[in-house]
Amino acid sequence: MTVQSTQPRKLPTGIEGLDVLLGGGLPEKRTILVLGGPGSGKSILCTQFLKEGLEKYNEGTIYVSLDYSKKAFTHDMLQFGWDFETYEKNGRFLFLEGAAIRRLPQTTASVDAVYTPDDLTLEDLVDLLSLHIEKIGAKRVVIDDLTALTFRFPDDVQRRGAILSLIEALSPLDVTTVIISEALGYGIGRGINTEEYLSDGVIGMYLLKDGTRAIQISKMRGVQVDNKPHPYNIVDKVGIEVYPTETIFSEK
Ligand SMILES: Nc1ncnc2c1ncn2[C@@H]1O[C@H](COP(=O)(O)OP(=O)(O)OP(=O)(O)O)[C@@H](O)[C@H]1O
Ligand SMILES: [Mg+2]
């Protein structure tokens, strides 16, 4: 009896080397975590994933930002040649900014209400997201970042519950979601974030002591991937470049 391959459909990230490691791209309709230290390129990598969907497949895309302002985002991404202002004008891209999210009509509460940061629950966010996903036919969503979303849950058990609810609520939405989170160090012995266990996949971006940047897919449920760390760079006018044939041998 031959075993039929049931590999999920993949969404190319547009980062050639990363797509090689992923065996084509991110698995469709799953929730993937991009984990890394400050300035490791998490926001750029995720934006490149959205840009690929917009440019190559005319997919609707959404960037949910808790910390990154729309103005700074638009300016920074233009340095790589990605014109998100035009994508937005064309109705294919939506930037949901923290403050704006709180002013948007709520599905679970009054349409006219103005919310303080503490009022925005994860349920509100998912409700708003599903409305907007439908509105523009979004296929790719980025949430930047989980730390800002869950800062109200200092207790580990509550935080785990909140993250699990978020991931479960995202699953019927028919989109591939990338959630950004902060990494707790690098290498054997680094702290493992709860969200790493709960998400379908984990891509880590690390700055090693010698200045090398390393990317590693530590997990991708249902998909065979390259789990080894490989070097990457952030290149002006290009974006993230991953070098899949180069390896990093020792933990630096
Ligand atoms: N135009 C550019 N050309 C080359 N490298 C750049 C350019 N713009 C930014 N960078 C690099 O990218 C880094 C920022 O990338 P990004 O904003 O994606 O990081 P991040 O992991 O999201 O950071 P944070 O945790 O602060 O949100 C900068 O620290 C810098 O090293
Ligand atoms: Mg960022």
Q: How far is the CA of 56 from the centre of ligand 2 (A)?
A: 24
Kindly state whether residue 153 falls inside one of the protein's structural domains.
yes
Q: What secondary structure, in 3-state letters, does 172-185 show?
A: HHCCEEEEEEECEC
Question: Ligand 1: does its nearest atom lie under 6 Å from the Cβ of 234?
Answer: yes
- The pLDDT confidence band at residue 110, using thresholds 50, 70 and 90, is very low
Cβ of 36 less than 6 Å from ligand 1: yes
Ligand 1 near 65 CB (within 6 A): no
- Among the residue ranges 6-10, 184-188, 219-223, the one predicted with the least confidence is 184-188
Q: Is the pLDDT of residue 234 over 70?
A: yes
21-25, 55-59, 170-174: least confidently modelled range = 170-174
The reply to whether 21 falls in a domain is yes
Nearest CA to ligand 1 atom 13: 39
Inside any domain, residue 30: yes
Q: What is the distance between the alpha carbons of residues 236 and 233, in angstroms, rounded to a whole number?
A: 10
Q: What is the CATH number of the domain that holds 218?
A: 3.40.50.300
pLDDT band at 70 (very low <50, low <70, confident <90, very high): very high
Total domains, the chain: 1
109 in any annotated domain: yes
88 contacts: CB under 8 Å, gap ≥ 6: 94, 95
In this structure, is residue 2 part of a structural domain?
A: no
Domain span including residue 217: 10-184+191-241
> Is the minimum distance from the CB of 29 to ligand 1 under 6 angstroms?
no
Is 32 contained in some domain?
A: yes
157-204 tens-digit pLDDT:
988 998 999 999 999 999 999 999 998 887 777 888 899 999 999 999
79 lines ligand 1 (CB under 6 A): yes
Q: Which atom of ligand 1 is nearest to the CA of 182?
A: 25
Whole-number Å distance between alpha carbons of 214 and 5? 30
DSSP string, 225-242: ---S-EEEEEETTTEEEE
Query: Range with the lowest mean pLDDT among 56-60, 184-188, 238-242, 246-250?
Result: 184-188
Note whether residue 19 is domain-resident: yes
| 165 within some domain | yes
